[in-house]
A and B are shown apart, each in its own frame.
Chain A
Amino acid sequence: QVQLVESGGGLVKPGGSLRLSCAASGFTFSDYYINWIRQAPGKGLEWISVINPSGTNTNYADSVRGRFTISRDNARNSMFLQMNSLRADDTGVYYCGREYWGAFDIWGQGTMVTVSS
């Protein structure tokens, strides 16, 4: 079935780095924009990044621009988020989401990132 599966979350110290992955199946991955959306514990949803189908165009929220890098490998049906200079306020569940005209029609189950000393 159509699904996205995130991985790579964990506990990291402030200033550290982490690389998240999003594996897709059940659809033609290379046809779709894919996004990262995060949710701090007990809080709302925050869009953080998008990548176009070919991987040539990206966009970021101001809160992560310059620290996070989104990329994709269409041959492996996968998308990635390299997160550097992590801060405590980056803590939360990170979801990848398939884009439908800018809305998100398919979501993964999420991967938890905790930034703490």
Chain B
Amino acid sequence: DIVMTQSPDSLAVSLGERATINCRSSQSVLHSSNNRNYLTWYQQKPGQPPKPLIYWASTRESGVPDRFSGSGSGTDFTLTISSLQAEDVAVYYCQQYYSLPRTFGQGTKVELK
């Protein structure tokens, strides 16, 4: 199984400041056949299901604000919120879909400072 490890577990950021979340996979999720990274980022707010933000490590889902961006390749990935808004307070998860079983990071809780 591919183990996904996020860091930090939580972070507190001031409104308008940058938030950076890291995700590392225990093996590469870059598929050589199409040069795509099989990695997604989700946002989950209390009492709600997760909402996909980013596919293929860096492609924003339709309707997601452009302050959210994803980067990285192979085993190391980053989700950046360029200017934190109050509505971005949530838990963020990465997930690999390179192989079964699908696996998630443990989550990173983003709070307001």
Does B52 touch A at the CB level, under 8 Å? Answer: yes
Q: Is the CB of A50 within 8 A of B100?
A: yes
Does B69 touch A at the CB level, under 8 Å? Answer: no
Residues of B within 8 A of A (CB): 38, 40, 42, 48-52, 55, 61, 93, 95, 97-98, 100-107
How far is B107's CA from A101's CA once the two chains are assembled, in angstroms? Answer: 22
Q: If A44-B107, A45-B95 touch, does A102 touch B52 (CB 8 Å cutoff)?
A: no
Chain B residue nearest to A109 (CB atoms) is B49
Provide the main secondary structure of the chain A interface: strand
Which range holds the interface residue count of chain A? 20 to 34
Minimal beta-carbon separation of A95 from chain B (angstroms): 6
B residues near A47, Cβ cutoff 8 Å: 101-104
Chain A residue nearest to B100 (CB atoms) is A59
A residues near B107, Cβ cutoff 8 Å: 44-45
